[in-house]
Chains A and B, each alone.
Chain A
């Protein structure tokens, strides 16, 4: 039975995003799941993805390929 108090369009707990973005880390996929579920790319997502990747690259030992 539908919950009458459930906000319209909300899918229920633990719904995975409907849209998969290649190379998107799981942490960001989780944080941006609402827009991904609506098949939208949140404008902050690519900026965050770049920021997290740059941090990972900076942590790699010198000489290791990015």
Chain B
């Protein structure tokens, strides 16, 4: 295998051709960002989709939440689960129809989604514990690897080669991507987030989540970037994706010092991530 297989310009041109977000997903994301997604509106969106309806009810009645058999309506389910969890369920379900990564050998969508959901829960918990916006953090965590999904769907051979290199060299996937593709999935995620008109700090958090592994580039300093960066490491450390090649990425010392995890209830956060991933993924059949 020789040479660089991709360049930023080629990827950027492909990203510009990405279809707009499905209307329902765009509406949910925008509302969650503004924190004004009302229960009635959310229930109406879910009730349009029979599969999503069933998943939401089953999740609300799962043993993890301790209300088995007592939640009978979507409205009650949303009240019990919270809009953040319901938003995660909706976004995960809709992402799976937006991108088709089946041509990418070595890329496993269920594993990808489990890790994304784990990062989302970790980000939400970290945001709550540090007094930041947990809805925005949960969404940024859920979508932090959207660049890898875009690469898998639109550059499957190239990403497959990078995944194979990461496996054979036992190095971080982002490092293999940079060696082979001249960019990593975090940078591609930043392009996708801007194309979809996400707020600047959410695009930056997605783009910068592997910053400590890069040799150059601007350092992110927003709390959201720190939270998503650490949440990604937590989801890897708990290996919620059940990936035999999983390795915990380096954490930026500056981000660690700003978030001060030693002063946070980390055991509670770890337990929330592990329990939450199992409950949500059971409903997504992952």
The answer, yes or no, to whether A66 is at the interface (CB within 8 Å) is: no
Besides the contacts A35-B248, A43-B256, A47-B262, what 14 more A-B pairs have beta carbons closer than 8 Å? A5-B179, A5-B180, A9-B171, A10-B171, A13-B167, A31-B237, A31-B246, A31-B247, A33-B247, A34-B249, A35-B250, A42-B248, A47-B266, A48-B270
What are 9 pairs between A and B in contact, CB < 8 Å? A4-B2, A6-B179, A7-B171, A10-B175, A12-B170, A42-B251, A44-B237, A47-B261, A47-B266
Q: Are B248 and A44 in contact (CB under 8 A)?
A: yes
The CA of A66 and the CA of B169, in the complex, are separated in Å by 39
CB-CB contacts of B168-196 with A at 8 A, as 1s and 0s? 11111001101110000000000000000
10 nearest CB pairs, A to B? A10-B171, A10-B169, A7-B179, A7-B175, A7-B171, A6-B169, A34-B247, A51-B270, A44-B237, A47-B266
Q: Are A14 and B170 in contact (CB under 8 A)?
A: yes
The answer, yes or no, to whether B234 is at the interface (CB within 8 Å) is: yes
Shortest Cβ distance from residue B48 to the other chain A in the assembled complex, whole angstroms: 40
Which residues does chain A contribute within 8 Å of B249, judged by CB atoms? 34
Instruction: Name A46's closest neighbour in chain B (CB-CB).
Output: B262
The CA of A35 and the CA of B247, in the complex, are separated in Å by 9
Which residues does chain A contribute within 8 Å of B2, judged by CB atoms? 4-5
Q: Are B251 and A44 in contact (CB under 8 A)?
A: yes
Determine which residue in A7, A11, A48, A54 has the highest number of CB atoms from chain B within 10 A of its CB, and name it. Answer: A7
Shortest Cβ distance from residue A23 to the other chain B in the assembled complex, whole angstroms: 17
Which residues does chain B contribute within 8 Å of A39, judged by CB atoms? none
CB-CB contacts of B125-167 with A at 8 A, as 1s and 0s? 0000000000000000000000000000000000000000101
Which residues does chain A contribute within 8 Å of B262, judged by CB atoms? 47
What is A's interface to B at a CB cutoff of 8 Å?
A: 3-7, 9-15, 27, 30-35, 42-45, 47-48, 50-51, 54
The CA of A35 and the CA of B152, in the complex, are separated in Å by 27
Which residues does chain A contribute within 8 Å of B271, judged by CB atoms? 51
Q: Are B170 and A13 in contact (CB under 8 A)?
A: yes
From B172, B180, B248, B250, give the contact of A31 (CB < 8 A).
B248
The CA of A12 and the CA of B169, in the complex, are separated in Å by 4
The answer, yes or no, to whether B210 is at the interface (CB within 8 Å) is: no
CB-CB contacts of B1-18 with A at 8 A, as 1s and 0s? 110000000000000000
The CA of A31 and the CA of B2, in the complex, are separated in Å by 29
Instruction: Name B266's closest neighbour in chain A (CB-CB).
Output: A47
Which residues does chain A contribute within 8 Å of B250, judged by CB atoms? 34-35, 42
Determine which residue in A11, A44, A51 has the highest number of CB atoms from chain B within 10 A of its CB, and name it. Answer: A44
Which residues does chain B contribute within 8 Å of A43, judged by CB atoms? 251, 256, 261
From B169, B170, B251, B267, give the contact of A51 (CB < 8 A).
B267
The CA of A7 and the CA of B179, in the complex, are separated in Å by 6
A5/B234 contact (C-beta < 8 A), A13-B167, A35-B248, A47-B261 known: no
Instruction: Name B238's closest neighbour in chain A (CB-CB).
Output: A48
A44/B170 contact (C-beta < 8 A), A10-B175, A31-B248 known: no
